[in-house]
């Protein structure tokens, strides 16, 4: 086998896995995803976690998710959240939702590394944004405690349906 042919074969072994890794890492359905950290002391009941999302596509259907990262010291198995979405034309839709973070035996449901568990929960499906522009999504906890310990981050994800 000549030297050029050997180099081409070796190059294939480098390029093909790199291309596959790149394609696997790309998330073509994601429109927006971001996390906001929560204060180490805990999430105060009056604190809003706010996301500003620029939407240009008013035709495609989308799924909206709420992402919650909790630590092992979170004192509950569930979390209640108030979520509001403000459109560029001033309209607001809100909802109160409950998500389960641990099963009946106390085992955390999210995927995790160490003491942090990452959860992604469906919020709304098949949603069209009627107006292009900047939308604001606000998330507030609805638990009884004034300061809620054990939540490290709150996020949202919008993806094409």
- What percent of the chain stands above pLDDT 90? 79
Rounded to whole angstroms, the Cα distance separating 30 from 50 reads: 19
Give me the residue spans of the domains in the chain. 29-160
- The pLDDT assigned to 16 comes to 57
Cβ contact 131:86 at 8 Å: no
Instruction: Give burial (CB, 10 Å; 0-12/13-18/19+) of 105.
Output: exposed
- The pLDDT assigned to 32 comes to 97
Burial string for 117-148 (b: 16+ CB within 10 Å, else e) reads bbbbbebbeebebeeeeebebbbbbebeeeeb
User: Higher model confidence: residue 25 or residue 148?
Assistant: 148
Instruction: Give burial (CB, 10 Å; 0-12/13-18/19+) of 77.
Output: middle
How do residues 27-57 score in pLDDT, each as one tens digit? 788 999 999 999 999 999 999 999 999 999 9
pTM: 0.81
Rounded to whole angstroms, the Cα distance separating 108 from 77 reads: 8
Domain 29-160 - what CATH class?
A: mainly beta
- The pLDDT assigned to 51 comes to 98
How do residues 49-103 score in pLDDT, each as one tens digit? 999 999 999 999 999 999 999 999 999 999 999 999 999 999 999 999 999 999 9
User: Higher model confidence: residue 152 or residue 25?
Assistant: 152
């Amino acid at each position: 086998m000549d030297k050029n042919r050997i180099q081409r074969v070796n190059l294939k072994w480098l390029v093909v896995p790199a291309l596959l890794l790149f394609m696997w890492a790309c998330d073509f359905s994601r429109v927006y995803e971001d996390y906001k950290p929560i204060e180490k002391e805990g999430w105060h009941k009056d604190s809003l976690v706010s996301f500003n999302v620029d939407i240009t596509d008013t035709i495609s259907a989308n799924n909206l998710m709420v992402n919650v990262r909790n630590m092992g010291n979170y004192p509950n198995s569930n979390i209640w959240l108030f979520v509001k979405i403000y459109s560029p034309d001033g309209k607001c839709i809100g909802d109160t939702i409950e998500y389960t973070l641990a099963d009946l035996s106390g085992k955390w449901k999210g995927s995790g590394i160490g003491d942090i568990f990452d959860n992604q929960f469906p919020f709304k499906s098949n949603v069209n944004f009627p107006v292009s522009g900047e939308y604001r999504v606000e998330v507030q906890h609805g638990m009884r405690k004034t300061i809620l310990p054990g939540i490290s981050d709150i996020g949202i994800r919008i993806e094409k349906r």
